[in-house]
Amino acid sequence: MTIPDFQTLMLPVLKYASVQNEHSLREAVEFLANQFVLSEEEKNARLPSGKQPIFYNRVGWARTYLKQAGLLETSGKRNYLRITNRGKEVLRSNPSRVDMRFLEQYPEYVEFRERTREPEEEIEEHIQVTTLTPEESLDAAYRKMREDLTKELLDNIVRSSPEFFENLVVELLVAMGYGGSGTNAARAVGQSGDEGIDGIIDEDKLGLDSIYIQAKKWTDKPVGREEIQRFVGALQGKRARKGIFITASRFTEQARNYAANIEMKVVLIDGKRLADLMIDHHVGVTTTTTYEIKRIDSDYFIETLE
């Protein structure tokens, strides 16, 4: 079964609250996960940000909207909610579904929606199509922008010269913590070029171990098993234990299987992963806007009783 969206969860959350004097979000999540017969994988699936389980997030937003409409209210315990008389009236009417459109009949909810300052037609469209919580919408937009940025990076890499590609590899590895400094790394990478090895870089700033590198700016064909075998043979000739093979193209399945089943540690970085690493380590990209997602600090609003 797929994870239900937050609007689908509104009525089950309300029904659950009707049989509990008060309930915490965690208790509601556990009960509803069993009710919807979610697998362990579905219960543990997290938002792309990794900050929170998807199902927990959706139950939380279902509760929030119900509270804004006056169907749930805060109880005596911190972070606990209970059903209101209005919520009980809704259940007595036996609705087939409670969602954002249903909640529009309550002035408190309308006021809550108006505080978002969205144009009326945008609110209407949002109510009709949304199945995502606000966090999920942000994550989806972020993923789309990152995918577009990845494609743009790869397009620029493809158009670059082999020399630029070597320098890019150096800068990325240094940004990831290898090589000690850009100067030291630049002397190591792109200088060897013998026996199937393009360069050597320190694994750490102290130079306790070395990593051998092969960089191929191929764009018109994938890197096959034969290339990886030649690289591994070169590593064995150097008595090396670790290697990185970087390409702007991709690796064949046979190449990946070979690298995964040898004793030596060889990491394969294709164009997609290369672009992802560049984004993660701020190489070739710049930050234009930063958003901070904040929540209410419930502890702040607890009054001290003397």
What are the DSSP calls for 127-186, one per residue?
HHH--S-HHHHHHHHHHHHHHHHHHHHHHHHHHS-HHHHHHHHHHHHHHTT-SSSHHHHH
Q: pLDDT per residue over 182-238, tens digit each?
A: 666 655 555 545 556 777 887 766 667 788 888 888 878 899 999 999 999 989 888
Nearest to 47 by CA among 144, 134, 150: 134
pLDDT at 107: 93
Q: pLDDT per residue over 280-302, tens digit each?
A: 999 999 887 777 777 766 656 55
Highest mean pLDDT: which range of 20-24, 142-146, 275-279: 275-279
Write the CATH number of the domain with boundaries 10-132: 1.10.10
For residues 148 and 291, give the distance between their C-alpha atoms in angstroms, rounded to a whole number: 19
For residues 253 and 268, give the distance between their C-alpha atoms in angstroms, rounded to a whole number: 12
pLDDT band for position 115 (cuts 50, 70, 90): low
64 or 137, greater pLDDT: 64
pLDDT at 25 over 50: yes
**212 SS3 class:** strand
Could you check whether 10-132 and 154-280 share the same CATH topology?
Answer: no
Q: pLDDT per residue over 171-180, tens digit each?
A: 898 888 887 6
Classified by CATH at the fold level, domain 154-280 comes out as: Trna Endonuclease; Chain: A, domain 1 (3.40.1350)
pLDDT band for position 126 (cuts 50, 70, 90): very low
Q: Where are the domains of the chain?
A: 10-132, 154-280
10-18 helix and 85-92 helix, angle to the nearest 10 degrees: 110
215, 165 in Cβ contact below 8 A?
yes
199 or 246, greater pLDDT: 246
pLDDT at 266: 94
pLDDT at 306 over 60: no
54-68 helix and 107-114 helix, angle to the nearest 10 degrees: 120
pLDDT at 125: 42
Count Cα neighbours of 212 within 13 Å in the Cβ-side half-sphere.
24
Beta bridge partners of 73: 82
